[in-house]
Amino acid sequence: MPTPSLLIRRARRADVPTIVHLLADDELGRQRECDTDPLPQTYYSAFDALDSDPRHELIVAELDGEIVGTLHLTFLPSLSFQGRSRAQIESVRMTERLRGQGWGGQLMHWAIDRAREAGCHVVQLTTHNARPDAHRFYERLGFVASHVGMKLKLDTH
């Protein structure tokens, strides 16, 4: 029997509820997301903005026709590093039942290859301090905690 492989593709508007469900599927995500039916229109507006911008790729991973993972890949042009672009990976999620089985690694390797194909000189990401399992996952992929990330919240809700 052949080993199943992930189908990795750009997200479609119809995928938005599943993506939001994946984003909401942990303690931090439940605080950030509004995984209701129907979803707030803001998710669809955000999808439309991402989908129309060639520097953004919202990606899903399917296994046997089911969306089981997602990530958001952004290509950032820069004057730094002699005008070379970088890739930013955000909102990486794999459905809980499949974590630790190598599927997330396949998705991340796809994103790294995509960044290389786009001519990026580096792939960067941030991961919340409260996610030590994610830190170990990224370190196993070769990522190094080389910078201190900082954020300034601009909203009050």
Does residue 2 fall inside a structural domain?
no
Query: What pLDDT score does 27 carry?
Result: 84
Query: Cα–Cα distance between 82 and 38 in angstroms, integer?
Result: 46
Query: Cα–Cα distance between 58 and 74 in angstroms, integer?
Result: 9
Does residue 146 fall inside a structural domain?
no
Is residue 157 pLDDT above 70, yes or no? no
Q: pLDDT digit string (tens) for 20-69? A: 999 999 888 899 999 999 999 999 999 999 999 999 999 999 999 999 99
Q: Show Cβ contacts of residue 93 under 8 Å, excluding neighbours closer than 6 positions.
A: 22, 23, 25, 29, 69, 70, 71
Q: pLDDT digit string (tens) for 87-137? A: 999 999 999 999 999 999 999 999 999 999 999 999 999 999 989 999 999
Q: 36: domain CATH number?
A: 3.40.630.30
Tell me the C-alpha to C-alpha distance, in Å, between residue 33 and each of 2, 16, 22, 39, 132.
Answer: 37, 12, 10, 10, 21
Does residue 44 fall inside a structural domain?
yes
Domain extent at residue 32:
7-140
Does residue 121 fall inside a structural domain?
yes
Does residue 154 fall inside a structural domain?
no
Single pTM value for the model: 0.92
Q: Show Cβ contacts of residue 77 under 8 Å, excluding neighbours closer than 6 positions.
A: 55, 83, 85
Domain count, the chain: 1
